[in-house]
Structure 1
Amino acid sequence: MMDNDNGSGNRSPLSRRRFVQALGATGVTAGFAGCGGQQAVETTGSSSDGNAENAASDTATPAPVDSETKRKIQELAYVTNQTLPVLPLQEKLAQSFQTTDDWSVPSKDSPNMQLYWPTEWLPRTGAWSQSDGANDSKLTLAQWAVPQDSQYNPWNGKNFAEPRRMLFDRFMRYNLAKQKYEPYLIADYSLDGETMTLSVREDQTWHNGDQVTATDVANQIKLDIYNGGSLGQFVAPEDKGKVSERVTTVDDSTVELSLTMAANEEVLLAYLQPKYLVAHESTYGEYVQRFDDAESDDARSKVLGDLTSETVPEPVGCGPFQFENADTQRTLLTKYEEHPDAGQIDFPEAEYLYMPSNQKRWNALINEQTDGSATLFMPSNKLNQLPDSVQVSLIPRHWGLGLVFNFEKEPVDDPRVRKAIAHVINRESVAKNSGAGTNSKIAVTYPSGLTGEFNGQIEGHWLEGVADKFETYGTNKSQTDKAAALLEEAGYQKQGGTWKKNGKALSIPIKGPAGFSDWVSGAQTVVSQLQQFGIEAEAIMKDTSTYWGKDYSNGDFVVGLQGWASYDQAYPYFHFKWIFDSWDAKNAWNLSSEFETPVLHEKVRDSKTVTPAEIVSELATSQ
């Protein structure tokens, strides 16, 4: 669980609680806010020299929904906007780098760049190929973990290294701009009521020559569910012992999922798309059999412990490149000629060099030691040093920096204080400063849990017809008069330039991970604005692993830094599930299950008292 593929609640193969227990303080960074260790800085701090409009095609099409579903989405957005369980500050666009001296790649504003991720998909389609007269026949990228210490068991999570992008095939492609799922290893699918059928691509083999079959795909899904994956809520929400009966093979190329309820197709596809097919029978078959045979939770826990502690240093993959060797400095892969896409790939090798810091990766791109990067935070002073041969593309991430509140801590347990904070903060300044002189951070217009600032889909689609009901909290400019009124209502008075209650100053300590450089800049901007207003705010930046593994996961904060949405997902269900029904919301933020807020749509609820998680659950099954 070492990067942006697996970090959010809907994508994680490990539950957040189990992830904390499995990896401890050092590894837990991967489970929250993006990716592991320094890699978290890479994906959470993306920025660009380009314009935000380049991030997505003008033809981006949000998921179609019926009027009832749209009302539920708007109601959840309204609850978020009126109660501020989190305060969204900005939405981000990720930088992706490609060199063009030895390589032919699509232009930076091409729709082909809007795939999850370009370094993974473009070579497969022949869109990342050698230029005429190229000097190097290897595609050179970077990895965070020491190559010979890397391993390829995704259920272990620790040091699941970047070469997996070429070693294994994902179930599907996802175009972030078009918000469209495209077939890949899963060549076709159908959803009929409570039955989902998946068809496996033909002529796919493992690197040892074994045929890829429906059994392999079924085993991958089973292991993910046994390990707490989100698809389990539709397949076996109450009894994991039923998984073997509900994930079955019809024939060698067909998998059938028997659901316990009719489910939203958009939600199911989002849970299936990012999966890598890793579950090679000879490596993982014994674990599947043991899980299937287990008759108690204790027995399944024993199997899970064995699975999550297993390391696989030399994997049997199914992707277009196979594992060759690894030492202290690089992992070498060679093209697997039997892969269905091998004919479109015109380079014989790919290597991943050990580069454990952003600085090393910046210098590698500047000095043309690497040929690209999936995503990477590079501030403007470093961007200006890139040679002309390096292009920077922007990819929407559908999340960004936010403030999360511990609902068991004063003073932020009071919604008036949270709203006052929102009115004081100038989100435009936060976005600008955390973007390090680039245009990739976009200030949130409506703090509502909805994403899509980069293409106008919030006001133009999700909040169509109701946007004027939503509080902008100053439309990104501080509204100190409103903030003052709220604090006075909450019992505070401004004395000697400081807001106080019963003689005690209003204090807002904000904790965050020191390694996330763009988040640190954003937090410092927030603190400065609150201080200018008379609130005793301070930024407490902790060692990254300590913050995630201790302070954050144990709820040891008043205000914390965290992503406010479920990244890489455009459909609002995932964002509201993250805000109202995630492990983090229940355990780290100590979020209340009920809120008191005015009603937006009486057809959704008829009382000011609302349980948002119930509406989120309804969205999961809406058609």
Structure 2
Amino acid sequence: MMDGHDNSELNGQQFTRRRFVQAIGATGLAAGLAGCGGQQAVDDTPTESNSDVESTSIDVGDESLGLIQELAYVTNQTLPVLPLQEKLAQSFQTTDDWNVPSKDSSKIQSYWPTEWLPREGEWTSANGSDDKRLTLAQWAVPADSQYNPWNAKNFAEGRRMMFDRFMEYELSSQEYRGYVITDWSLDGKTLTLNVRDDGVWHDGSSITATDVVNQLKLDIYTGGNLGEFVAPDDEGKVADRITAPNKTTAEVSLVKAFNEDVVLPYIQPKYLSAHEGTYGEFVTRLDEAGSQDERSTIVGELTGMAVTDPVGSGPFQFEDADSQRTLLTKFENHPDAGNINYPEVEYRYKPSNQSRWNALINNETDGSATLFMPSNKLRQLPDSVQVSLIPRHWGLGLLFNHEREPVNDVRVRKAIAHVVNREAVAGNSGAGTNSKIAVTYPSGLTSEFSGQVEGTWLKGVTNQFETYGRSTSQTEKAAALLQDAGYQKQGGTWKKDGNPLRIPIKGPSGFSDWVAGAETVVSQLKQFGIQAESVMKDTSTYWGKDYSNADFVVGLQGWASYNQSHPYFHFKFLFDSSDAANSWNMPSELEAPVLNDQLRDGQTVAPASLVSDLSTAGN
């Protein structure tokens, strides 16, 4: 997703970049794109170090680990996508008038620091400071913003302070922490959520488990991914699948006994916004609807409703908005209000990367959740602005259309992988910020920055995986693969039956970091003798036509599920998603060597089946 404009919680669904562009529409497109790559830096002087991110290891069961490694091996050996790099997001905090944790503190490692640190008393006004208003930025025009999470248009940035998330997810340790949901348990098919008993809506009413139930129901009725785990009844309803047996307990009935690591990521990021007075009637009507057509009509009403005077659940409440800023004031009855020593939060209208860069440089804003800033701009920041780096668990990849020649041949895909110097791609697309790191093992696994690929996910089996040359082109291996596929090098160009090997790479022109990465790949392929070219399209055209209609040979796309870190989500995206089926024509079966013969008995494999097994592994 674009750094700085994370709409991944919308409708409870995972939004790809393509779906994000469709959701914000033409008027919001330029603003959204600004958060992704921004402008190219004029030089490549490093300004930040990846060494601030600690190496960590997490616990994973033997059955889960075996499936993860097998899926990683299938990905490594068949290359449905060539992962090029993994990224860090830059997060900004000012320290002149504010007390904030150091940039390498684990307290920064959450999505997003601007919403969690104030609640925890870790972003406070410094003693003696005259600044009593925390000032941040928002993409959409404040007066045009709205606060209905099921209406994807202009869902305002102020939601981060106005609504409480269900849980916190600490990235460095990959641990969940309670918040609205204080505790949870998964017993077979029943997920029990314990709700804090001191929450208060901004109208003074108490927050109860019924509010949590309503939030989950509306998310599922509007198409949220949690619906894959909570089976509706024969009439398409979830009324008796999600219930509140008492004021502090919500129970969710699942289709089967899923792995907790798979279920919780769909619960954790949700904002509690389903206020009874605003949304209760929709829940009742959807629960009682007599047909799918009736439900569709009600969902249409819900998703078309713009809420401009919201009743929130967070530590700040809506005050007013005009063309330039949204003003929030502290809600004194919030259980964590005592941790906050300033009365206001302001979101100023900053619709481009350049305006956000200048706001930080000129001390107009006090921080940014996440924003890409190239090195030449970083050097203009005052000493009082610290830059933290947050793992994003995804990055730029080359996506192969499996129904288009020549990349429908795995030998050609592997040859490309051997030619591409991923280190150079990461360096050029990072624009001197060290915020991109080359993928060591193209396998669909993330956590390169924290050492978990080798230290956890592939521990003990890395020698079985092909690196394809991380920083050095392995042209001899590439040549052997192309020769085996029937190509010969003639006059410096690889040809088959007299026709040159052509690799056009399509992508969105608005994502400058991706464009830089693609141009680097094209240069490397050309030098090897492949007629490669960069075909950058208008961003909305690329996602709305070329990508969605599978009109490409090689396309640019994120190669992992940016919204979660667990490998299940990355492999589901690669092998069992609508994108995989419709955009890159992923076949249901692949031919791949076997890593663990206890998991499969032949080289023909259906990866989606392994992904399904992973969702319940260990239960």
Q: TM-score band (shorter)?
A: over 0.9
| Aligned partner letter, 1:50 | E
| Aligned partner letter, 1:54 | D
CA displacement at 1:291 relative to structure 2: 1.5
Give the equivalent residue in structure 1 for 2:580: 585
Give the equivalent residue in structure 2 for 1:376: 371
Give the equivalent residue in structure 2 for 1:427: 422
Q: Give the 3-state SS of the residue equivalent to 1:119 in structure 2.
A: helix
Q: Give the 3-state SS of the residue equivalent to 2:240 in structure 1.
A: helix
Q: How does 1:126-525 map to 2 (within 5 A)?
A: 126-236=121-231, 241-525=236-520
**Is 1:613–2:604 an aligned residue pair?**
no
The whole-number CA distance in structure 2 between the counterparts of 1:213 and 1:23 is 31
The whole-number CA distance in structure 2 between the counterparts of 1:402 and 1:197 is 38
The whole-number CA distance in structure 2 between the counterparts of 1:107 and 1:395 is 13
| Aligned partner letter, 1:127 | E
2:90 maps to which of 61, 86, 95? 95
Change (3 A) 1:226 1:340: same
Contact persistence 1:241–1:295 (CA under 8 A): no
The whole-number CA distance in structure 2 between the counterparts of 1:587 and 1:283 is 37
Q: Give the 3-state SS of the residue equivalent to 1:499 in structure 2.
A: strand
CA displacement at 1:214 relative to structure 2: 1.0
Farther off after superposition, 512-521 or 344-353: 512-521
The whole-number CA distance in structure 2 between the counterparts of 1:124 and 1:48 is 33
**Cα deviations by residue, 1:295-315 (Å, 9 ceiling, x for unpaired):** 332222222222221111221
CA displacement at 1:424 relative to structure 2: 0.6
Contact persistence 2:24–2:153 (CA under 8 A): no
TM-score norm. by structure 1 comes to 0.94
| Aligned partner letter, 2:57 | T
Give the equivalent residue in structure 2 for 1:26: 26
**Is 1:39–2:40 an aligned residue pair?**
no
The whole-number CA distance in structure 2 between the counterparts of 1:6 and 1:607 is 41
Give the equivalent residue in structure 2 for 1:112: 107
Farther off after superposition, 93-102 or 562-571: 562-571
| Aligned partner letter, 2:13 | P
Give the equivalent residue in structure 2 for 1:7: 8
Q: Give the 3-state SS of the residue equivalent to 1:139 in structure 2.
A: strand
Q: Give the 3-state SS of the residue equivalent to 1:468 in structure 2.
A: helix
The whole-number CA distance in structure 2 between the counterparts of 1:499 and 1:73 is 36
Give the equivalent residue in structure 1 for 2:594: 599
2:550 maps to which of 528, 551, 555? 555
TM-score norm. by structure 2 comes to 0.95
Contact persistence 1:27–1:158 (CA under 8 A): no
| Aligned partner letter, 1:603 | Q
Change (3 A) 1:258 1:182: same
Q: Give the 3-state SS of the residue equivalent to 2:601 in structure 1.
A: coil
Change (3 A) 1:337 1:20: closer
Give the equivalent residue in structure 1 for 2:48: 50
The whole-number CA distance in structure 2 between the counterparts of 1:367 and 1:28 is 25
The whole-number CA distance in structure 2 between the counterparts of 1:465 and 1:14 is 32
| Aligned partner letter, 2:34 | Q
| Aligned partner letter, 1:617 | S
Change (3 A) 1:21 1:444: closer
Contact persistence 1:24–1:549 (CA under 8 A): no
Contact persistence 1:205–1:212 (CA under 8 A): yes
| Aligned partner letter, 1:7 | S
CA displacement at 1:238 relative to structure 2: 7.9
CA displacement at 1:286 relative to structure 2: 1.7
The whole-number CA distance in structure 2 between the counterparts of 1:48 and 1:301 is 52
Change (3 A) 1:607 1:295: farther
Change (3 A) 1:130 1:17: closer
| Aligned partner letter, 2:8 | G
Change (3 A) 1:571 1:580: same
**Cα deviations by residue, 1:250-290 (Å, 9 ceiling, x for unpaired):** 11121101112001111111110000011111111122122
**Cα deviations by residue, 1:501-524 (Å, 9 ceiling, x for unpaired):** 222221111111222111111111
CA displacement at 1:562 relative to structure 2: 1.0
Q: Give the 3-state SS of the residue equivalent to 2:535 in structure 1.
A: strand
| Aligned partner letter, 1:493 | Q
Contact persistence 2:57–2:455 (CA under 8 A): no
Contact persistence 1:44–1:516 (CA under 8 A): no
RMSD, aligned α-carbons: 2.4
Q: Give the 3-state SS of the residue equivalent to 1:122 in structure 2.
A: helix
Contact persistence 2:423–2:470 (CA under 8 A): no
**Cα deviations by residue, 1:333-389 (Å, 9 ceiling, x for unpaired):** 110111011010001000111111101111111111110000100011111111100
Unaligned residue ranges in structure 2 (runs of 5+) = none
CA displacement at 1:596 relative to structure 2: 0.5
The whole-number CA distance in structure 2 between the counterparts of 1:89 and 1:595 is 22
Farther off after superposition, 17-26 or 386-395: 17-26
CA displacement at 1:12 relative to structure 2: 4.4
Change (3 A) 1:141 1:558: same
Change (3 A) 1:88 1:199: same
The whole-number CA distance in structure 2 between the counterparts of 1:621 and 1:205 is 36
Identity across aligned pairs (percent)? 66
The whole-number CA distance in structure 2 between the counterparts of 1:550 and 1:306 is 28
The whole-number CA distance in structure 1 between the counterparts of 2:18 and 2:512 is 27
Q: How does 1:45-84 map to 2 (within 5 A)?
A: 49-55=47-53, 57-58=54-55, 60-62=56-58, 64-84=59-79
**Cα deviations by residue, 1:130-154 (Å, 9 ceiling, x for unpaired):** 1122132110101111111111111
CA displacement at 1:620 relative to structure 2: 0.8
Structure 1 segments, 4+ long, off by >6 Å, are: 14-18, 27-30, 42-45
**Cα deviations by residue, 1:229-254 (Å, 9 ceiling, x for unpaired):** 22112211785724111101111121
The whole-number CA distance in structure 1 between the counterparts of 2:5 and 2:136 is 16
CA displacement at 1:613 relative to structure 2: 0.6
Contact persistence 1:446–1:470 (CA under 8 A): yes
The whole-number CA distance in structure 2 between the counterparts of 1:538 and 1:358 is 28
Q: Give the 3-state SS of the residue equivalent to 1:160 in structure 2.
A: coil
Contact persistence 1:189–1:196 (CA under 8 A): yes
Contact persistence 2:38–2:513 (CA under 8 A): no
CA displacement at 1:550 relative to structure 2: 2.0
**Cα deviations by residue, 1:398-455 (Å, 9 ceiling, x for unpaired):** 1111111111221111111111111110000001111101212110000001112112
Q: Give the 3-state SS of the residue equivalent to 2:239 in structure 1.
A: helix
| Aligned partner letter, 2:47 | D
Change (3 A) 1:614 1:167: same
The whole-number CA distance in structure 1 between the counterparts of 2:344 and 2:248 is 30
The whole-number CA distance in structure 2 between the counterparts of 1:480 and 1:604 is 34
Change (3 A) 1:541 1:12: farther
Contact persistence 1:48–1:440 (CA under 8 A): no
